[in-house]
Structure 1
Amino acid sequence: MRAPMLADLRGYVVLSLRGGRVEEFLNEAAREGLRLWDVRLTAPGQGKLKLDLDDFFRLRPILKRTGCRVHVEKRCGFPFVLKRVLRRKVFLLGAAGFLIGLFLLTSLVWRVEVTGTEKLANETVLAAARQEGIYLHQWTFRLKGLDELARGLLARLPDATWVGVERKGTTIRIRVVETTRPEDKPLVSPRHLVAKKNALVTKIYAEKGRPMVLPNTYVRKGQLLVSGELGEGENRKWVPATGKVFGLVWYESTITVPMEQVHRTYTGDSIEKSYLIVGKRALQITGYRKGQYAHSVATGTPKMLSIGRFRLPFGWLKETVRESEEQVYALSAAEAEAAGLKRARDDLLLRTGEGARVAGEKVLAREAKDGKLHLKVHFEVEEEITSQLALVEAP
């Protein structure tokens, strides 16, 4: 006979049967309608079977009539599991407490994230969110609907075009799209543009104001380039002159280049050293017995202990010492001159600012002495030559 449905839920027992008339017992149990299954005769006058828990107490009359005896070998099913659990009250209370605590912890807001802000400070968004009820350790069931929260935040953030609120577990994500506004131009007073260096004018870009010089005109430092005065007589108007004027400026540079260049390369071999840091002193702990290199480069970053925001005067340092080789390369006069000119050009362009370019160069003198090449070079650099001259009182 197959196991009845819901046998595990109702519970059942595994019985061993012996003595008396076993076959007669099985026949009478079947006639009485007892739910039994997995019946097996293990030996003459002995057997095993499984019986529904509800029918167990109906066995006694049948056992008396047939002279058989039963022994419960195993108790199975939900009623017996529940009984064992109820005996362990501490375990049951602990499990209940764990489930309640888990529910409470997952019902709190543990993280609030703000994304999409550039000009708007995150603190401003978080302050507006707190006013709408979004803050750490808030109960999630006390929060308003996500759409309602988004509308409330948008009303409290005038510099935002759109606000979205998303909840994922115990995290609230606030996405902000900021309002795009044109940049406020600073107010400037009327002014002229004058030359900051002696130069030969090459290009004039006057955005506002009246150009006072022409290309290929030589100007001196302080000379007026773009006037902030427009019109004449009663129609005269003073404006802040804006624009750019480029000109050729002459420089003379003295350059010294070593004829021998030293290049350092790593061999791939390295050793590790550890130090204990106490205050401003370091005590070496490991790496004593390892060989020393003739040339090496040491790198390492100290890690100091801290408690919260307080940094303690204790820490450690792991230093890596890499072996290196120095190779000396002899430069020809042409190579040394090219390297010196390149370095001089880079220095000039760094000093003269954005938009500058070297228009020409000429070596005035060169001399090799004491293993070095000495150069005297004339450069022509095209650069912006304007500076502002404020007009305190307009005539």
Structure 2
Amino acid sequence: MQSAVLKWIQGYVKIEVKGERAAEFINRALSKGFSLWDIRVSGDRLVELCLPCRDALRLRPLLKETGCRMHPLKREGLPFAARKLAKRKTFLAGGVAFIASLFILSSFVWTIKVEGNVKIGTQTILDAARKEGLYLHQWKYRMGDSEKLSFGLQTHLPGTSWVGVEIKGTQVTIKIVEADKPEEKPLVSPRNLVASKHAVVTEIQAKRGRPLVQPNAYVRKGDVLISGTLGDEANQKIVVADGYVKGMVWYTSKIEVPMIQTYETYTGDSKTRNYLVFGSKGIQVSGYGKLPFEHYQTIPEQKTLQWRSFKLPVGWLSEKLMASETVERKLDPAEAKAIGLERARADLMSEAGKDARIVTEKILHEKSENGKVYMEVHFEVEEFIMEEQPIVQQGE
């Protein structure tokens, strides 16, 4: 039995046979080797059936012998579809041009991805790939194979232990495995740890060196906290001071917050623009005309044609333009005060460091005028207060 695909390729017709001897006609056709299917008998005088188009004319002798008449109902298959396309030359030419365009566009490199690099910059890798003939919009058949490209790239990238190149459709992926290098320890010279700002010491821990201050001691910027000099003048040793010192530091922040806050919100109106995308170029196909609103935000959504794992350089871009408007909201003094304090805390923690903590805060002055809230706030912050100071030895 032939498959449905093979029947469609060869072409077939559905016919209606009428006559007193319609049943005899079917039996004699089958006995002579005709391929018939979907046979439907309606009474004694009417039969519907399908057969290959090449056998349709061969039925005439049987029709005469049995006194039946044949009437075609439907023609299906590739020969009939090709005949229709031949009459529609413009459509056929467009289809051929579309297929040719897909083939041509899929012969170029449209995307290059780099994976696995940490220390080596992506641009450095792309520059090395260009030297090997791999770059955007390059014709794929002018490039070497993956093995040759991998070898050439590794030659240009000495910091790698392995380079792989994977070509899938119009996308090329360069995979990098960087060589492991022993960590270079920084050269450390003898030093003291000194105060980086005025503070009251809250905690000190000396891992190496001699602590010169105690908790609750007030220090000024530049005072030595942990000395790298051990012993006395007669028997002296210079080391690299190590440890940490925390202290209480004072800050005064001047805060200014407008009582009218502005922000953007969507109005609910929108318009959609659609583009047919070829590589990095787009042709607008809908959404023409002047926008009915002035302010908007664009939300893009792009879809790319893909066949299995191959991405074709043809796609569809839909842009949704969401109308927006600026809204003003009036704050009461308490809300403005809370917003100002939160901003001041964030700025303070950014300056003091991630390990700092605010111990106390006190509003020294507060007033509301000219549509703004003004505050002066005093903060006490515990943070690390040490910094390095090299020890310059005589004779150096």
Q: What TM-score do the two structures reach when normalised by structure 2?
A: 0.51
Deviation track 1:310-343 (CA, whole Å, cap 9, x = no partner) reads: xxxxxx98324366674879xxxxxxxxxxxx99
After TM superposition, list the pairs within 5 Å mapping 1:152-301 onto structure 2.
152-179=152-179, 181=181, 184=184, 187=187, 190-195=190-195, 203-208=203-208, 210-211=209-210, 213=212, 215=214, 221=220, 223-229=223-229, 238=238, 241-246=241-246
Gaps of 5+ in 1: 257-262, 275-284, 288-299, 304-315, 330-341, 367-376
| 1:56 maps to amino acid | L
CA RMSD of aligned residues (A): 6.4
Residue in structure 1 matched with residue 324 of structure 2 by the alignment? 318
Distance across 1 between alignment mates of 2:48 and 2:351 = 103
| Structure 1 residues 200 and 323, CA gap change in structure 2 (3 angstroms) | closer
After TM superposition, list the pairs within 5 Å mapping 1:32-51 onto structure 2.
33=32, 35=34
Residue in structure 1 matched with residue 75 of structure 2 by the alignment? 76
2:111 matches 1:111: yes
SS at structure 2 position matched to 1:109: coil
- Contact 2:12–2:50, Cα closer than 8 Å, also in 1: no
Deviation track 1:237-292 (CA, whole Å, cap 9, x = no partner) reads: 6555444345678x799x99xxxxxx999xxxx99699xxxxxxxxxx989xxxxx
Deviation (angstroms), 1:117: 3.4
Deviation track 1:28-53 (CA, whole Å, cap 9, x = no partner) reads: x8699594976989999x99987864
- Contact 1:107–1:170, Cα closer than 8 Å, also in 2: yes
SS at structure 1 position matched to 2:212: coil
- Contact 1:359–1:380, Cα closer than 8 Å, also in 2: yes
Deviation (angstroms), 1:143: 5.2
Deviation track 1:120-165 (CA, whole Å, cap 9, x = no partner) reads: 2211122233344433233445655546644554443333455444
| Structure 1 residues 390 and 41, CA gap change in structure 2 (3 angstroms) | closer
Distance across 1 between alignment mates of 2:71 and 2:232 = 122
Residue in structure 2 matched with residue 56 of structure 1 by the alignment? 57
Distance across 2 between alignment mates of 1:30 and 1:198 = 111
Residue in structure 2 matched with residue 279 of structure 1 by the alignment? none
- Contact 2:193–2:388, Cα closer than 8 Å, also in 1: yes
SS at structure 1 position matched to 2:125: helix
SS at structure 1 position matched to 2:112: strand
Distance across 1 between alignment mates of 2:251 and 2:102 = 78
SS at structure 2 position matched to 1:123: helix
Deviation track 1:88-123 (CA, whole Å, cap 9, x = no partner) reads: 444444433333332333333221122343432211
| Structure 1 residues 61 and 116, CA gap change in structure 2 (3 angstroms) | closer
SS at structure 1 position matched to 2:136: coil
| Structure 1 residues 183 and 302, CA gap change in structure 2 (3 angstroms) | farther
Residue in structure 2 matched with residue 278 of structure 1 by the alignment? none
| Structure 1 residues 217 and 170, CA gap change in structure 2 (3 angstroms) | closer
Residue in structure 1 matched with residue 126 of structure 2 by the alignment? 126
Residue in structure 2 matched with residue 337 of structure 1 by the alignment? none
- Contact 1:195–1:223, Cα closer than 8 Å, also in 2: yes
- Contact 1:160–1:177, Cα closer than 8 Å, also in 2: yes
Which segment drifts farther, 118-127 or 141-150?
141-150
Distance across 1 between alignment mates of 2:44 and 2:32 = 25
Deviation (angstroms), 1:389: 4.2
After TM superposition, list the pairs within 5 Å mapping 1:319-334 onto structure 2.
319-321=325-327, 326=332
Deviation (angstroms), 1:360: 9.9
Distance across 2 between alignment mates of 1:39 and 1:353 = 87
Which segment drifts farther, 96-105 or 32-41?
32-41
| Structure 1 residues 192 and 82, CA gap change in structure 2 (3 angstroms) | closer
Distance across 2 between alignment mates of 1:194 and 1:31 = 108
- Contact 1:191–1:391, Cα closer than 8 Å, also in 2: yes
Q: Considering only CA atoms, is the larger Rg found in Structure 1 or Structure 2?
A: 1
After TM superposition, list the pairs within 5 Å mapping 1:4-23 onto structure 2.
9=10, 11=12, 14=15
Distance across 2 between alignment mates of 1:345 and 1:317 = 35
| Structure 1 residues 233 and 30, CA gap change in structure 2 (3 angstroms) | closer
Number of residue pairs aligned between Structure 1 and Structure 2: 322
Distance across 2 between alignment mates of 1:252 and 1:132 = 58
Distance across 1 between alignment mates of 2:94 and 2:293 = 50
Which segment drifts farther, 218-227 or 351-360?
351-360
SS at structure 2 position matched to 1:176: strand
Gaps of 5+ in 2: 270-291, 299-321, 336-341, 365-377
Distance across 1 between alignment mates of 2:381 and 2:59 = 115
